[in-house]
Amino acid sequence: MNRAKVNQGNNLADYHDVWVIAEQNEGKIHPVTIELVGEGRKLADSLAKKLAVVVPGADAEDEARKLLHYNVDKVYYIKHPLLKDFSTEGYALSISELILEKQPEVVLLGATSIGRDIAPRIAGKVGTGLTADCTKLEVDGEDHKLLQTRPAFGGNLMATIVCPKNRPQMSTVRPGVMEKAAYHQEIHGKLEIFIPSLKEEEIRTVLIEKVKSDKKKVNLIDAKVIVSGGRGLKAPEGFALVRALAEKVNGEVGSSRACVDAGWIEHLHQVGQTGTTVRPDLYIACGISGAIQHLAGMSEAKYIVAINKDPNAPIFKVCDYGIVGDINEVIPAMIEAIDKNGSFEI
Amino acid sequence: MKIIVCVKQVPDTNEVRINQETGTLIRDGVPSIINPDDKNAIEGALALKDIHGGHVTVLSMGPPQAKEALKEALAMGADEAVLLSDRAFAGSDTWATSTILAAAIEAIGGYDIIFCGRQAIDGDTAQVGPETAEFLNIPQVTYAKHIKAVGDRVQITRYTEYGDYVIEAKMPLLLTAIKELNEPRFPSVRGIFKAYSTDDVKVWTLDDLKIDMTQIGLKGSPTNVFRSFVPVKEKNSLIIEGQNGKEKAAALINKLTDLKLV
Ligand SMILES: Cc1cc2nc3c(=O)[nH]c(=O)nc-3n(C[C@H](O)[C@H](O)[C@H](O)COP(=O)(O)OP(=O)(O)OC[C@H]3O[C@@H](n4cnc5c(N)ncnc54)[C@H](O)[C@@H]3O)c2cc1C
C-alpha cells in the first residue's frame, strides 16, 4: 500500500502561511468560511505570515474573488470542471495537491458535514495530524505551535491538542464559534488560479441527486435572538408558545435534544454538542435544564435568559437573567409585557 | 456480501464525572457502552445481510475489556468478532488508530463494505472512518442516512446542511452511519446465549498485523494532548424576583428592553 506517512523529519521552517479552505455550494460561500477568515487573520498576524483562502469549484471565480474583500492576502481558486459538484475524492485530491505544492503552515476547514468528510482524507494524503471541531485556536509564542482547543467527553473536559512534528497543522472549526471577518471595500490581495491534475476515474463516487428540502430554512447560526424550548414544554404543542415569543422578538426557534428525540421538533432546531453551536445576542431557554451538552452549543451567547420551575436547574448557573417559574405563565406574560412596552413607544 | 464494522467501546458520557481538582475523568462506576453511531453501523450491516446474505465481522481496537462491546455485537447477530489489543497501540490518535484498523481490515481481506459510526461520543472527531478509507484507498460516503445495495453498487443518501445528497459508488467502499440511518435491533435471547456462553472473540496483537511501527501508538501519533482542563462556565446570574410570573416577566422584559435586546 502506497500511502503518506507522518514523522518523516520534514523541516518545519519550510512551511508558511495560514490557509482557510472555503466551502461553497452552487457558488455560494458558507458563512463558516468568513468566520475562519476572521480567525485565520489573527493567527497569520501572530505568526507574521500571510493569509490565503482556497476555493475549489468549476464556476466560482466571482465568488472566490469576493473573498479578497475580507482582508485576505491571497485567494487560490482551484478550477476544474470535475469540481462543479462536491465529491470527497475530487475535493480532497485537488486541495491536497495544492497543499503539497505550496506548503502552508496552518490549514483550517469548517467542521461541517462536508469539511469533516474531506479534512481527514486531506490529512491522510499530505501526511499530517488533524484536530476536529476546535472552538479555540492560539499560537504558542515560543515555537509557533498551533494550540487547538476542543471539547471532549461531551464537553465535560476541554483538551488542547498540538501537532508538533508535522506540517501543516490542520484543524476543523465548529461553525458559529469564531467571529466573522469584516468586509472592506478596498482589497490588497490577489487571486491565483490553480488547475489540479484531476482525472475522472479518480472520483469513484457519483452524485445522483441533490434532494432539495422544501422545509423552511432554520438559520440558527446567524440569528440575533433565539428562543429555545426543552422537555419542560411537556408536549409538541408547547412549541406554539415558544414560537409566539420568538415571533415577538424577531428570533428563531431552538430546541434541546430531548424535544428532538421525542419527535416534537426537527433536528435542524437542535442546539448543542450534537446540534448547532450558536452565539446570538440573546438566548432564551424555556424549560431546559442546562445539560452540559446543551450548554456546549449556547454558552457563548451574549445574554442568556433562563425560565425554569426548578430553582436548582443547572441552566441558572450560566444565565444572565433567570426566572423561577412555570413557562405556561411566564411566556404569555412576557409577550404581554412586550406588547405593552411597545405601545409606550407609540 | 462481506461487511466489516468498526466499533468503539466508550464511556457513557452522560455519566462521566470530572475530578475538578485534577481535571481528569472519573472512570470508576461509569458504564461502558458501544458507541451509539457504531450501533447504527452494526444495524446497517446486519440489515444488508438480512437482504443480501453474507458475513458481518465486527472489529474493535481497545483494551481487553472492549471484548464486552464485541460480544454485544455478536449477540445482535454479527458472525465474527476481532479485538485488536496490544500495548503498542496505546495512546494512538486518529491517524494511528486508522493505521491499525486499516492494517487489520487488510488482514481480514476480501471485503465489500467497511462500516463505521460517524463519530464516537468520547472524542467526537469523525476522523477515523475517512482516514481508514484513505489508508485503504477506497471511496467513502459519510453521514449515511439511507443505504441500498444494487448489484455491485451501493446507493447512499447522505446528510448535508444543504439537503440530502444521493450518491452511488461501486464496492468496496467505506460508509459512516448517523442516527437517522436506522433503529438498532436488540440482541435476541439465542444471540445472547451464544455470544456469552462461548468466547468467540478473536484477539489480535501487533504480531498479527503488517504495520509500520513509526505510524502507531503514542510515538507515532502526529497529534497529542498539550493540556486538558475543566471548562469554567459560571456567570453572575441574576434571578429575577417578584410576586408572580407576571411581575417577573414584566421586570425581565424591562431589563431586556433597556439592553435593546427586544
Ligand atoms: C452524546 C450526547 C450528545 C448530546 N447532545 C445534545 C445536544 O446537542 N443538545 C442538547 O440539548 N442535548 C444534548 N444531549 C442531551 C442532554 O444530555 C440532555 O439530556 C438534554 O439537553 C435535556 O434536554 P432538556 O433540558 O430539554 O430536558 P430535561 O433535562 O428533562 O429538562 C427539562 C427542564 O424543564 C423544566 N420544567 C419542566 N416543566 C416546566 C414548566 N412547566 N415550566 C418551566 N420549567 C419546566 C424542568 O425543571 C427541567 O429543568 C446529548 C447527550 C449525549 C449523551
Give the H/E segment covering residue A29.
strand A28-29
pTM: 0.85
- What is the Å distance from ligand 1's center to A311 Cα? 15
Residues 6+ apart with CB under 8 A from B174: B113, B114, B115, B116, B129, B130, B132, B133, B136, B138, B139, B140, B141
Assess whether B260 and B135 both reside in one domain: no
Assess whether B129 and B243 both reside in one domain: no
Assess whether B145 and B211 both reside in one domain: yes
C-alpha distances in Å from residue A214, one per residue of A17, A211, A253, B20, B160? 41, 9, 18, 47, 14
Assess whether B139 and B245 both reside in one domain: no
Q: Whose CA is nearest to atom 36 of ligand 1?
A: A232
Q: Whose CA is nearest to atom 1 of ligand 1?
A: B121
Assess whether B154 and B199 both reside in one domain: yes
Q: Whose CA is nearest to atom 48 of ligand 1?
A: A289
**Which A residues, 50 through 69, put their C-beta within 8 Å of a C-beta on chain B?**
none
- Could you read off the pLDDT of A166-225 as tens digits, one per residue? 999 999 999 988 999 999 999 999 999 999 999 999 999 999 999 987 666 788 988 999
- What is the Å distance from ligand 1's center to A80 Cα? 46
CA proximity to A279, closest of A216, A218, A225: A225
Q: Nearest-CA residue of chain A relative to B12?
A: A153
A-chain residues near B224 (CB < 8 A) = 161-162, 164
Assess whether B161 and B245 both reside in one domain: no
- Could you read off the pLDDT of B173-225 as tens digits, one per residue? 999 999 999 999 999 999 999 999 888 899 999 999 999 999 999 999 999 99
Strands A169-173 and B224-229: unpaired
User: A111-126 burial string, b = 16+ CB within 10 Å, else e?
Assistant: bbbbbbbbbbbbbbbb
Rounded to a whole number of angstroms, the distance from the CA of B73 to the nearest CA of chain A is 23
Assess whether B177 and B256 both reside in one domain: no
State residue A71 phi and psi, 5-degree precision. 60, 50
pLDDT the model gives residue A152: 84
- Give the total number of structural domains in chain B: 2
Rounded to a whole number of angstroms, the distance from the CA of A275 to the nearest CA of chain B is 12
> In angstroms, rounded to a whole number, what is the distance separating the alpha carbons of residues A323 and B242?
9
For A8, the grid coordinates are 518523516
The answer, yes or no, to whether any atom of ligand 1 lies below 6 A from the CB of A275, is yes
CB pair distance less than 8 Å for A89 and B139? yes
Assess whether B208 and B257 both reside in one domain: no
Q: Tell whether B144 is covered by a domain.
A: yes
For B134, the grid coordinates are 484513505
Assess whether B138 and B187 both reside in one domain: yes
Q: Tell whether B43 is covered by a domain.
A: yes
> In angstroms, rounded to a whole number, what is the distance separating the alpha carbons of residues A230 and A232?
5
pLDDT of A342 > 70? The answer is no
Question: Closest to A320 (Cβ–Cβ): which among B139, B155, B235?
Answer: B235
CB pair distance less than 8 Å for A210 and B245? no
CA proximity to A53, closest of A11, A22, A84: A22
Assess whether B95 and B173 both reside in one domain: yes
pLDDT of B44 > 50? The answer is yes
Q: Tell whether B224 is covered by a domain.
A: no
> In angstroms, rounded to a whole number, what is the distance separating the alpha carbons of residues B67 and B73?
10
Averaged pLDDT for residues B20-35? 79
CB of A310 within 8 A of CB of A286?
no
CA angle A252, A301, B143 (to 5 degrees): 65
Q: Tell whether B220 is covered by a domain.
A: no
CB pair distance less than 8 Å for A321 and B252? yes
Q: Tell whether B200 is covered by a domain.
A: yes
The answer, yes or no, to whether any atom of ligand 1 lies below 6 A from the CB of B13, is yes
The answer, yes or no, to whether any atom of ligand 1 lies below 6 A from the CB of A231, is yes
pLDDT the model gives residue B136: 98
CB of A315 within 8 A of CB of A288?
yes
Q: Note whether A300 contacts B: Cβ–Cβ < 8 A.
A: no
Q: Tell whether B221 is covered by a domain.
A: no
Assess whether B102 and B182 both reside in one domain: yes
Q: Nearest-CA residue of chain B relative to A316?
A: B237
Q: Tell whether B116 is covered by a domain.
A: yes
B-chain residues near A207 (CB < 8 A) = 165-167
Domains for chain A: give ranges and CATH numbers: 12-202 (3.40.50.620), 225-339 (3.40.50.1220)
> In angstroms, rounded to a whole number, what is the distance separating the alpha carbons of residues B215 and B183?
36
Q: CA-based Rg of chain A, rounded to a whole angstrom?
A: 22
Residues 6+ apart with CB under 8 A from B235: A304, A317, A318, A319, A320
CA angle A107, A112, A118 (to 5 degrees): 55
- Could you read off the pLDDT of A12-51 as tens digits, one per residue? 999 999 999 999 988 889 999 999 999 999 999 999 999 9
CATH at residue B116: 3.40.50.620
Domain containing residue B189: 2-215
The answer, yes or no, to whether any atom of ligand 1 lies below 6 A from the CB of B14, is yes
Assess whether B262 and B161 both reside in one domain: no
Rounded to a whole number of angstroms, the distance from the CA of B145 to the nearest CA of chain A is 13
pLDDT the model gives residue A55: 98
CA proximity to A270, closest of A258, A255, A283: A255
C-alpha distances in Å from residue A73, one per residue of A17, A67, A70, A300? 10, 10, 9, 30
Q: Note whether A147 contacts B: Cβ–Cβ < 8 A.
A: yes
Q: Tell whether B225 is covered by a domain.
A: no
- Could you read off the pLDDT of A125-142 as tens digits, one per residue? 999 999 999 999 999 978
- What is the Å distance from ligand 1's center to A306 Cα? 13
